[in-house]
Chain A
Amino acid sequence: MFDFGIVTKWLDDLLNSVMPGWLTTTIECVLVAVGLLVAYSLIAMFYIFYERKVCGWIQCRLGPMRVGKWGLLQVFADVIKILQKELITLWNTDKFLFKLAPYLVLIASMLTFACLPWGKGLQVIDMNIGVFFIIAVSSIGVLGILLAGWSSNSKYTLIGAMRSGAQMVSYELSCGISILTMVCLAGTMSITGIVEAQQDGWFIFKGHLPAILAFIIYMIAANAENNRGPFDLPEAEHELTAGYHTEYSGIHFGFFYLAEYLNLFIVSGIATLLFLGGWMPLHIPGWEGFNHVMDYIPSVVWFLGKAFFITLIFFWIRWSFPRVRIDQMLALEWRYLMPIGLVNLVVMAIVVTQKWYFGA
């Protein structure tokens, strides 16, 4: 399996040999920033296109077809169009908070995006508290959404933001508990450590019933975290126009849209990392030939492939189920997912301490 660490190390040594250390670090930071920016925009654009196509197919339509071959350039056209729109600030808005909100939302998604392990040695932020850092910074996004709704001085945005806040903080708990369950199995919080612990089998296969249960809880909670699918009441278009970003125009709205699709990629990425082995290839014990063939597929392809597959499930759920009511939404979290998640955590702890998991 190709290790990107070799490339970055070579570049690091090369730069260090011709210039002082601080300049090397600066250049590397700039390189990483450019890489992040490009990857961020491309993934978001691809996801918008992906969602429109899948939505089209589920509804027996073709999806975007006009701009470019199979509508591939549609999203680029949309970006250019949205950039040309006027930025309107309304009367009586809290101008500072109104302008601050998109920054918070984008910073939160950019930080979590940088934590994802794209491939072997290809991970921007790698801390020893990795997963915990992801949970911590992704919460900043909720703040951005609440501020956006509050500062817009419109009733739709206020209701949208409050619903969104209640929903996102509630489901964050279930997300956290299922991540906790997997940390328990992995024995480490570092993202590299979690991926490497899955070398001989992905956690969803390794961890018995509690891992599968945690996966299901995580999928439901992540779907609600993103305000998507059956849980899209913060921006229920029949009741609230567009929810918390009703009053944002032009690219200001574009930021929220971008972050929403990026967050979809991020939750798929975290699901991949925790349950489906990150960039680890599929290995079946005993099938030597098969395992060697799988090793030839680059790690980036594995990671993106799994993430896109998880996303496909999210799309499928979104376009298949009707929207839930707010009381149903809160009851599902607090009366079902939360207690089940806590019991699941205890079961996982017993499984881990008794060494009942596979490959112990």
Chain B
Amino acid sequence: MESSIFGIQGTTMAITAALTGVLLVVGALVIAWLIGPRSYTKKKGEPFECGIPTRGDSMAQYHVGYYLFAILFLMFDVETVFLFPWASICKTIATTIGAKALLAVGTFLVILVLGLAYAWKKGALRWK
């Protein structure tokens, strides 16, 4: 593990940064709670819908197309996880393993592209 600022481990610093984010939110919320006004009226809690009363529940069903793209995203995002280790040593393995390394990853990419081509042909990439 490489050392970050002050020679502290990266993980410790990551936790510090995350806590700083929490602190920023909590701090600003406390200030807002202390100096902000408070009033209670019945109509205030209505969802904004340009002045007309809302009909029905808003946590409703939505277009299935979003789901499809989320699935496609999953496929290609996991692929990135596999490709990163290869990419970081691509420069060095060129001299040791040579073209074989390219071939191995090339096969992996071809399978992926076949997946994309299948989704394309099936019309999954077209917004309906």
Contact = CB atoms under 8 A, between A and B. Distances in A.
Interface of A: 8-9, 11-12, 25, 28-29, 32-33, 36-37, 40-41, 83-92, 102-103, 106-107, 109-111, 113-114, 121-128, 132-133, 135, 137, 150, 152-159, 162-163, 165-166, 169-170, 172-173, 176-177, 180-181, 183-185, 187-190, 192, 241, 246-247, 250-252, 254-255, 326-327, 330-331, 334-335, 338-339, 342, 345-346, 349-350, 352-355
Given A166-B66, A254-B28, A110 B21 contact: yes
A33 B19 contact: yes
Contacts of B10: 125-127, 133
Contacts of B49: 154-156
A94 to B, nearest CB: 8
B12 to A, nearest CB: 7
Contacts of B20: 33, 36-37, 40, 110
Contacts of A172: 73, 77
Contacts of B87: 180-181, 183-184, 349
Closest 8 CB pairs of A and B: A187-B91, A110-B21, A327-B127, A353-B94, A154-B47, A127-B10, A114-B17, A91-B45
A128 B11 CA distance: 11
A173 B125 CA distance: 15
A173 B62 CA distance: 24
Contacts of A162: 62-63, 66
A125 B4 contact: yes
Nearest to B32: A251
Given A90-B47, A177-B80, A169 B18 contact: no
B88 A176 contact: no
B90 A32 contact: no
A84 B32 CA distance: 6
B17 A111 contact: yes
Contacts of B92: 187
Contact of B5 (A84, A123, A251, A346): A123
Contact of B12 (A29, A241, A330): A29
Nearest to B85: A189
A258 to B, nearest CB: 9
Interface in B59-103: 59-60, 62-63, 65-66, 69-70, 72-73, 76-77, 80, 83-84, 87-92, 94, 98-99, 101-102
A32 B58 contact: no
13 contacts: A9-B7, A12-B6, A90-B47, A111-B17, A133-B10, A154-B48, A180-B84, A247-B47, A254-B28, A327-B127, A334-B116, A350-B102, A353-B94
A159 B112 CA distance: 31
A255 B28 contact: yes
A20 B113 CA distance: 56
Given A90-B47, A103-B22, A110-B18, A353 B113 contact: no
Contacts of B14: 111, 114, 125, 127, 133, 137
Contacts of A111: 14, 17-18, 21
Contact of B2 (A25, A184, A190): A190
A132 to B, nearest CB: 6
A275 B46 CA distance: 48
Given A166-B65, A349-B105, 4 more contacts: A32-B6, A153-B57, A187-B91, A241-B48
